[in-house]
């Protein structure tokens, strides 16, 4: 088995790089299909969120793939020329995990230990969605199925057995609690425009409402989804084409869409800026790629914050939960060891069964030949036949003992690719 992961995350990859590598949900399935069309022996899952892009690969044999091949595919799929100077800078920030490091990393990600907000719950649904897209695309096979099911199980254990998620935090909760409330003394007399109608948008509305904001306007490309969200939270709705007019009257706008290009540019804002008559505007960009053009920060009376601006606050929140991390780490270690042990047992078990089956067939063939030869001269007693079979069985067990023990010992730490391949070649196994 070959298990690999290529990706980047918020801790050491800046937002401007992450947004260039990000995939919208509609792009993920096509990207997976394109990879498996070129490399059909590999299973694939692609996780793309506001804070990470991770490409998981697995081949259920010894077929290998190198980092450069995967990197080239990933960059090409984002329209980045692999030979360009900026491509080399991006490549240097990508992580390449192999074999069992992939397992522990995914378990940590799904359990939110790698999240910007330690203990946030959104990553669990994001991993589920990525896994479901791969299932729908037919690119998650037997091994990645087991891996992602085990990751989801691990996350549930961490939630149930630690207090990391006791007081649930999310990126919207940090944004509202530490940025919005710092700018506005109270929210009851303020109006917000929420651009987008997904999970991030709903989370933002939830925290704005909880902190007293009475008027919220929802704007989304698909009006039907905007109407549903607005109805659930007693909010108003405007058509997508009316978003600039809505920005004229609001105190803050929040970007949560998956749009590949900015939905509010500096040029857009300049056309409506005089209509605001100098009133301050707070822009909160929670999207990757960014919904608001970064140069908006240069406009007068406009305050623009993006995900990277939340990092310092999130680290402060993280320190308050760090005492629970060792408990979570122990759970992840237990579940990782269990998964690896079961996977190794499955991989080596296939070789062991094939070896036994092969030798059993040879044994039966030789016994049949011997019994036919003996019976041509005299009757072979049943007791004699049993002794012959017993002798053959003992011989096979002695011959097979050392190869099997070597497999079992090596598989305690890793999948013994080299040894399994050697046994297959030596004994002519498929």
Which of 169-173, 224-228, 326-330, 345-349 shows the lowest mean pLDDT across its residues?
A: 345-349
Range 203-208 average pLDDT: 91
Residue closest to 284 by CA, chosen among 199, 178, 125: 178
| pLDDT at position 219 | 96
Active site residue 299: no
| pLDDT at position 279 | 92
| pLDDT at position 168 | 53
Range 4-25 average pLDDT: 90
- Looking at every residue in the chain, the average pLDDT score rounds to 87
pLDDT 10s digits, 267-305: 999 999 999 999 999 999 999 899 999 999 999 899 999
Flag whether pLDDT at 48 surpasses 90.
Answer: yes
Domain coordinates in residue numbering, the chain: 2-166, 171-319, 343-427
Name the helix (H) or strand (E) containing 53.
strand 52-59
Residue closest to 343 by CA, chosen among 276, 287, 413, 404: 413
Q: How confident is the model at residue 129 (pLDDT cuts 50, 70, 90)?
A: very high
Cα separation, 130 vs 122, in Å, equals 13
| pLDDT at position 318 | 67
Which of 26-30, 34-38, 191-195, 421-425 shows the lowest mean pLDDT across its residues?
A: 421-425
| pLDDT at position 337 | 87
The residue written with tokens 């490309």 in the block is 221
Cα separation, 239 vs 209, in Å, equals 22
| pLDDT at position 284 | 93
The residues, any chain, with a CB within 8 Å of residue 421's CB and separated by 6 or more, are 62
Tokens for 130?
A: 């990525």
Which of 4-18, 142-156, 249-263, 401-415 shows the lowest mean pLDDT across its residues?
A: 401-415
Q: How confident is the model at residue 180 (pLDDT cuts 50, 70, 90)?
A: confident
Flag whether pLDDT at 411 surpasses 80.
Answer: no
Q: Does domain 171-319 have CATH number 3.40.50.920?
A: no
Flag whether pLDDT at 169 surpasses 90.
Answer: no
Range 145-156 average pLDDT: 94
| pLDDT at position 59 | 87
* Integer angstrom CA distances of residue 56 from 27, 28, 35, 70, 344: 16, 12, 11, 10, 19
Report for 150-154, 164-168, 324-328: range of highest mean pLDDT: 150-154
Range 396-418 average pLDDT: 70
Tokens for 376?
A: 């041509």
Residue with the bigger pLDDT between 60 and 131: it is 131
Find the catalytic residue in 8, 50, 58, 314.
50
Q: Give CA angle at 426 (425, 430), nearest 5°.
A: 40
Report for 171-175, 265-269, 312-316, 341-345: range of highest mean pLDDT: 265-269
| pLDDT at position 297 | 93
| pLDDT at position 355 | 74
Q: Tell me the residue length of the chain.
A: 430
Q: How confident is the model at residue 74 (pLDDT cuts 50, 70, 90)?
A: very high
| pLDDT at position 428 | 67
Cα separation, 372 vs 94, in Å, equals 66
Q: Could you tell me how far CA 255 lies from the centroid of its own chain?
A: 23
State pTM to two decimals. Answer: 0.71
pLDDT 10s digits, 347-401: 676 777 777 777 788 888 888 888 888 877 667 788 888 888 888 888 888 877 7
| pLDDT at position 365 | 83
Cα separation, 124 vs 111, in Å, equals 7
| pLDDT at position 87 | 86
The CATH architecture to which 2-166 belongs is 2-Layer Sandwich (3.30)
Cα separation, 361 vs 163, in Å, equals 56
| pLDDT at position 430 | 62
Cα separation, 331 vs 157, in Å, equals 7
Flag whether pLDDT at 415 surpasses 60.
Answer: no
Instruction: Report the percentage of the chain scoring pLDDT > 90.
Output: 48
pLDDT 10s digits, 211-241: 899 899 999 999 999 999 999 999 999 999 9
Flag whether pLDDT at 2 surpasses 80.
Answer: yes
Flag whether pLDDT at 414 surpasses 70.
Answer: no
Cα separation, 160 vs 219, in Å, equals 36
289 preceded by a cis bond (ω within 30 of 0):
yes
Flag whether pLDDT at 167 surpasses 60.
Answer: no
């Amino acid at each position: 088995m070959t298990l690999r992961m290529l990706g980047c995350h918020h801790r050491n990859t800046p937002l401007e790089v992450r947004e260039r590598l990000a995939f919208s949900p509609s792009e993920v399935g096509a990207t997976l299909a394109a990879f498996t069309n070129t490399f059909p022996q590999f299973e694939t899952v692609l996780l793309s969120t506001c804070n990470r892009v991770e490409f998981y690969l697995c081949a259920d044999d010894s077929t290998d793939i190198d980092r450069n091949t995967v990197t080239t595919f990933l960059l090409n799929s984002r329209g980045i020329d692999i030979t360009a100077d900026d491509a080399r800078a991006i490549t240097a920030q990508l992580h390449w995990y192999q074999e069992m490091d992939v397992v522990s990393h995914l378990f940590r990600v799904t359990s939110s230990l790698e999240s910007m907000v330690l203990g946030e719950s959104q990553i669990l649904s994001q991993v589920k969605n990525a896994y479901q897209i791969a299932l729908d695309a037919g690119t998650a096979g037997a091994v990645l199925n087991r891996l992602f099911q085990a990751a989801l199980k691990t996350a549930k254990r961490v939630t149930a057995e630690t207090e990391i998620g006791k007081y649930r935090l999310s990126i919207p909760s940090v944004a509202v609690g530490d940025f919005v409330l710092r700018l506005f003394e109270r929210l009851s007399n303020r109006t917000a425009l929420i651009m987008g109608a997904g999970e991030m948008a709903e989370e933002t509305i939830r925290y704005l409402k909880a902190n007293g904001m009475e008027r919220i306007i929802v704007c989304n490309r698909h009006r039907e989804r905007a109407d549903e969200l607005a109805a659930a939270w007693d909010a108003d709705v405007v058509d997508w084409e009316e978003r600039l007019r809505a920005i004229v009257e609001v105190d803050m706008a929040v970007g949560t869409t998956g749009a590949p290009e900015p939905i509010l540019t500096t040029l857009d804002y300049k056309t409506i800026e005089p209509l605001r008559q100098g009133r301050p505007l707070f822009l909160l960009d929670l999207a990757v790629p960014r919904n608001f053009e970064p140069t908006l920060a240069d406009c007068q009376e406009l305050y623009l914050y993006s995900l990277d601006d939340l990092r310092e606050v999130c680290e402060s929140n993280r320190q308050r939960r760090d005492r629970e991390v060792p408990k979570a780490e122990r759970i992840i270690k237990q579940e990782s060891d269990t998964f690896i042990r079961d996977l190794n047992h499955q991989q080596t078990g296939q070789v062991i069964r094939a070896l036994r089956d092969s030798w059993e067939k040879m044994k039966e063939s030789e016994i049949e030949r011997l019994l036919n030869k003996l019976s041509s001269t005299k009757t072979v007693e049943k007791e004699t036949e049993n002794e012959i079979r017993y002798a053959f069985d003992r011989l096979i067990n002695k011959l097979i003992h050392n190869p099997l023990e070597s497999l079992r010992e090596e598989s305690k730490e890793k999948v013994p690719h080299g040894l399994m391949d050697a046994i297959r070649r030596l004994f002519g196994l498929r």
